[in-house]
Amino acid sequence: MSDILILSRRDLQAVMRFADYVEAVDQAFRLHAEGRSASPPPLHIQAEDGGFHAKAAGLTLGRPYVAVKVNANFPGNRRRFGLPTIQGAVLLLDGANGTPLALLDSIEITIQRTGAATAIAARHLARPDSATATVCGCGAQGRIQLKALHHSLGLRRAFAWDVDGDAAAGYGREMSSELGIKVVAVTDHRPATRQSDVIATCTTASEPFLGIDDVRPGTFIAAIGADNPDKREIAPALMAQATVVADMLAQCVAMGDLHHALAAGAMREGDVHGELADLVGGRRPGRTRGDEITIFDSTGTGIQDVAAAARAYELALEAGRGTRCRLA
């Protein structure tokens, strides 16, 4: 067995730009649209104070790759232990012969590939003249979501809201400096979302906080937080009124905000406009009207993980990054 390449978060940050993640994830959805992906359902294991999920997928990206990601999600970690909410690893394998190729930090992969999907969705579902954003949830994912929206739309200002006011204030200062736009922390999300062209929800909420009265016509919403069946951010009535696009329909039916809209009887599965792959592959249109409310239900997919991990592995080999380890 050949050596496996260990890629730390620092290694990934050294070799991968955000644009690399966007290109990799876009290619993954294009291949999925063509029926050239393998993506089994995710596995969820509940724990007392959090949970674990495993996602796997296979893609041929010049050569066949398979990746399996195991993530732990423990919302109380930072407060109780000083640890990240999400921790885990991605195992990348050769899809032709099964050889383990790399073990990658999953924090960076997960954050960046999730933002990349939002950047792609925004191209298809946001109004091209969108200038103002609100981000609900000012953690690591909130940071990449604003960066993703700015990457695709060239925002001019943003609002930041979090149940932790200090977190929102710090976010506002940091993101204003990083992006060169005005990012204002707010204590009530509703006046901010009513002024916004785009909204990203990336919280750990278990009850919906964004409803019809919080959103104006023409808004694009990236619904990020509901990545397990117990989390929800978007009111079912708002889901029913919007054009909903799923990252992967079967997953969103099982664990996204769509899951809760279906359970409430506000929508049927057939009401969903399509998957992101349908838009990327040209099978379905994106936004068709200026006053249309559009929602991207993002639960995070294995095809994003394998595409990002494979791109990082190839760039790391070129750059000579990472640590080699022999497993057997």
The catalytic site residues sit at 69
The answer to whether residues 115 and 173 touch, using CB atoms and an 8 Å cutoff, is no
| SS3 annotation, 186-230 | ECCHHHHHHCCCEEEECCCCCCCCECHHHCCCCCEEEECCCCCCC
Residues forming beta bridges with residue 88, ordered by sequence position: 71
Q: Phi then psi for 211, rounded to 5 degrees?
A: -120, -175
CA 115 – CA 109 distance, rounded (Å): 10
Q: Phi then psi for 164, rounded to 5 degrees?
A: -95, 105
The answer to whether residues 308 and 113 touch, using CB atoms and an 8 Å cutoff, is yes
How many angstroms separate the first and last alpha carbons of the chain? 7
Beta strands (DSSP E) in 25-131 are 37-38, 43-47, 50-60, 64-73, 86-94, 100-105
CA 247 – CA 37 distance, rounded (Å): 14
**Tokens linked to 294:** 């559009």
